[in-house]
Amino acid sequence: MMDAHGTDTTMQTNRILLLHGIWNARSWLAPLARRLRRAGFEVDVFGYPSVFGGAETAIAQLIEALSDAPPLHLVGHSLGGLIGLEALRRAPHLPVARMVCIGSPLCGSAAARSLGRRAWSAPVLGRSGALLQNGCPPWRGRPPVGVVAGDVARGIGRLLARFDGASDGTVAVAETRLPGLADHCVVHASHTGLVFSAAAAAQAAHFLREGRFRHPPGAMRGGVAAAPAAGGTG
């Protein structure tokens, strides 16, 4: 049975699994985990070797870890959002109710493509380079997916790519607007700062509970095409 936001009501849950980004470890997400716990969620963190293991290994490990798990939500920062979304695309049976991607270049990262073009810098992306550079296909899966983007342009990405429009210093807001999202919002934070942002955590918690972000009265919701209803093809 589906609620008004396309979520299977048999999968109601307050459990969250966090996914960190490239060059990070589980401990990096401690501030975000702490805020979400204070919001009433049970939170765990999925760790993976983002450079030497790479995205493909992480996706396979995540699918295996979730295949027999009780219902939960996914929240991924940066590369973690792409890994979570790709796992859901490849394994639509996974018991995930909703997902929030925070600062994730779901449409592909210009900064990552710039790194990949240079012989001296390409290795820093390791085996996660292709996913960061290319992004994910438009979302047509069952779980509603929302994105929290940042608009404080402070980060190494400014040295690697020229952004048209707002960015968090590493990822352009436009790079987070994947077709098929249930909702999208922007908070005042840099790419790194999103993990420490009270506003980002509050928006993620709101989406996981309500299937939408908190928008100012009269604001256009999300600014992206809504995800198709559950049961559709794709």
Confidence of residue 231 (pLDDT cuts 50, 70, 90): very low
Q: Nearest-CA neighbor of 74 among 60, 103, 48, 95?
A: 95
The mean pLDDT of 103-109, rounded to a whole number, is 94
Reduce the secondary structure of 158-176 to three states and give it as a string: HHCCCCCCCECCCCEHHHH
Give the model's pLDDT for residue 124: 53
pLDDT (tens digit per residue) in 149-196: 999 987 665 555 566 789 999 999 999 999 999 999 999 999 999 999
17 occurs within a structural domain: yes
Handedness of CA 119, 120, 121, 122 (dihedral sign): positive
Average pLDDT score over the chain: 83
pLDDT (tens digit per residue) in 36-91: 999 999 999 998 875 556 788 999 999 999 998 999 999 999 999 999 999 999 99
4 occurs within a structural domain: no
Spatial contact of 158 and 90, defined as CB atoms under 8 Å apart = no
Confidence of residue 21 (pLDDT cuts 50, 70, 90): confident
Is the pTM higher than 0.75?
yes
228 occurs within a structural domain: no
24 occurs within a structural domain: yes
152 occurs within a structural domain: yes
Paired tokens of 171: 């990822």
Give the model's pLDDT for residue 233: 26
Helix axis angle for 54-66 and 79-90, nearest 10°, is: 60
222 occurs within a structural domain: no
Domain extent for 81: 9-210
Give the model's pLDDT for residue 111: 82
Q: Rounded CA gap, 115 and 107, in Å?
A: 16
151 occurs within a structural domain: yes
Total domains present in the chain: 1
Burial 6-21 (b: 16+ CB within 10 A, else e): bbbeebebbbbbbbbb
Confidence of residue 108 (pLDDT cuts 50, 70, 90): very high
Confidence of residue 32 (pLDDT cuts 50, 70, 90): very high
Per the DSSP assignment, residues forming a β-bridge with 101 are 76, 147
Paired tokens of 161: 């790519």
- For the cut 50, the answer to whether the pLDDT of residue 137 exceeds it is yes
CATH number of the domain encompassing residue 94? 3.40.50.1820
- For the cut 90, the answer to whether the pLDDT of residue 31 exceeds it is yes
Paired tokens of 169: 């210093």
Helix axis angle for 30-38 and 198-210, nearest 10°, is: 50
226 occurs within a structural domain: no
